[in-house]
């Protein structure tokens, strides 16, 4: 490699506009690798981070949903070699010694590093990161199609596991964007009966084409799912809009599960008495297990899921993030390098 600089999607300071800027290509240090990116998806978490009042690292390269190939390895790296296919997710390194790390829940480690937040992210032609943080990616999958699985597909798989449903049971998905449409596809593979709720008719049409039995929009969707369709065995809220949470709650049967995935700095309210007397379980779901990610890749290779992606150039990133902010992106926008 002879280049010394490359373009990256940069957040220069908290709440600043995201710009595409030239940055230095650094050599990997001990325990690090240099990855030449092939594709990176855009995630709502990128928007969330861009809106924070404080950043642990600035200027910051955003992005955590990437596929690339190892270009070079630093001293002490033996598990990766030049040319290996690698994935970059939000979860970087963890401490390895806490209760969460030792019991298969390292995504909840209180001492974790994260790509596109505390580590420089994957929205750049070249990325340097800890070798221990990379994930193996199958050789026979297209980068732009596989990239969303590094966050959206992984998170969707984890949320469905948290819902704990059996084939034939009913599930409502609130938000049918990058995560929601993949959750719909995976849920159908699992034999679930899926309803979806979104404010975008384009996204509802996509959901219908992917097999959603019910597709609703409106202010009283929770009540409609309850009164007209008998209620849901579980609901997963992928949107970060707090108003969706009470609607999802109202859609639930007794002893059902509410899984919260979308993040927001704003609070939500739920009725305490109904939560208790109806035996509702409320769970937060963050990423997934290593097995969840492997299963997402397996489903992709088997042709069981088909991420709905739109390829774009890195220069389009600021405009795409604004579209995402408005909720006007259907499927997943992926930057192809």
Query: Over the stretch 217-234, which tens digit does the pLDDT of each residue have?
Result: 988 999 999 999 999 999
Say how many residues make up the chain.
Answer: 337
Quick check: 248 pLDDT over 80? yes
Token pair belonging to 312: 């774009």
Q: What is the DSSP code (8-state) at residue 149?
A: G
Quick check: 290 pLDDT over 90? yes
Quick check: 247 pLDDT over 90? yes
State the pLDDT at residue 329.
Answer: 87
State the pLDDT at residue 218.
Answer: 87
Q: The tokens 């010394």 sit on which residue?
A: 4
Quick check: 328 pLDDT over 80? yes
Quick check: 56 pLDDT over 80? yes
- Going along the chain from its start, the domains and CATH numbers come out as 5-151+288-336 (3.90.180.10), 153-284 (3.40.50.720)
Residues 116-149: pLDDT tens digits?
999 999 999 999 999 999 999 999 999 999 999 9
Quick check: 169 pLDDT over 80? yes
Residues 196-209: pLDDT tens digits?
999 999 999 999 99
Q: Is residue 267 very low, low, confident or very high in pLDDT (cuts 50, 70, 90)? A: very high
State the pLDDT at residue 36.
Answer: 98
Average pLDDT over the chain, rounded to an integer: 96
Q: Please state the φ and ψ torsions of residue 221, each to the nearest 5 degrees.
A: -65, -35
Q: Is residue 7 very low, low, confident or very high in pLDDT (cuts 50, 70, 90)? A: very high
Quick check: 312 pLDDT over 90? yes
CA distance 187 to 63: 26
Residues 59-88: pLDDT tens digits?
999 999 999 999 999 999 999 999 999 999
CA 53 to chain centroid, in Å, comes to: 22
CA 55 to chain centroid, in Å, comes to: 20
Quick check: 2 pLDDT over 80? no
Q: Is residue 240 very low, low, confident or very high in pLDDT (cuts 50, 70, 90)? A: very high
Helix, strand, or coil (residue 28):
coil
CA distance 179 to 131: 27
Mean pLDDT (whole number) for 277-303: 97
Residues 6+ apart with CB under 8 A from 306: 145, 185
């Amino acid at each position: 490699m002879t280049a010394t600089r490359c373009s990256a999607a940069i957040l220069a300071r908290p709440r600043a506009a995201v710009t595409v800027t030239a940055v230095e290509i650094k050599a990997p240090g001990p325990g690090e690798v240099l990855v030449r990116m092939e594709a990176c998806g855009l995630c709502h978490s990128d928007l969330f981070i861009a809106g924070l009042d404080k950043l642990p690292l600035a200027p910051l390269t955003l992005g955590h949903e990437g596929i690339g190939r190892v270009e070079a390895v630093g001293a002490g790296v033996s598990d990766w070699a030049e040319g290996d296919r690698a994935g970059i997710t939000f979860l970087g390194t963890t401490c390895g010694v806490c209760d969460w790390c030792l019991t298969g829940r390292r995504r909840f480690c209180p001492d974790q590093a994260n790509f596109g937040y505390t580590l420089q992210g994957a929205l750049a032609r070249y990325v340097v990161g800890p070798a221990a943080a990379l994930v193996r990616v199958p050789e026979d999958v297209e980068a732009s199609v596989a990239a969303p699985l590094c966050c959206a597909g992984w998170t969707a798989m984890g949320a469905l596991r948290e819902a704990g449903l059996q084939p034939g049971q009913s599930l409502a998905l609130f938000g049918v964007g990058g995560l929601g449409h993949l959750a719909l596809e995976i849920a159908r593979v699992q034999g679930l009966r899926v309803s979806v709720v979104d404010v975008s008719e384009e996204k509802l049409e996509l959901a219908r084409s992917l097999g959603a039995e019910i597709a609703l929009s409106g202010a009283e969707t929770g009540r409609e799912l309850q009164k007209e369709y008998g209620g849901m065995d579980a609901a997963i809220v992928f949107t970060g809009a707090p108003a969706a949470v009470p609607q999802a709650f109202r859609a639930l049967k007794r002893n059902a599960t509410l899984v919260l995935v979308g993040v927001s700095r704003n609070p939500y309210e739920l009725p305490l008495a109904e939560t208790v007397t109806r035996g509702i379980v409320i769970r937060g779901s963050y990423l997934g297990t290593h097995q969840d990610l492997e299963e997402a890749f397996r489903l992709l290779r088997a042709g069981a899921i088909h991420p709905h992606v739109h390829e774009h150039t890195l220069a389009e990133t600021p405009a795409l993030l604004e579209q995402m902010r408005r909720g006007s992106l259907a499927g997943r926008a992926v930057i192809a390098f």
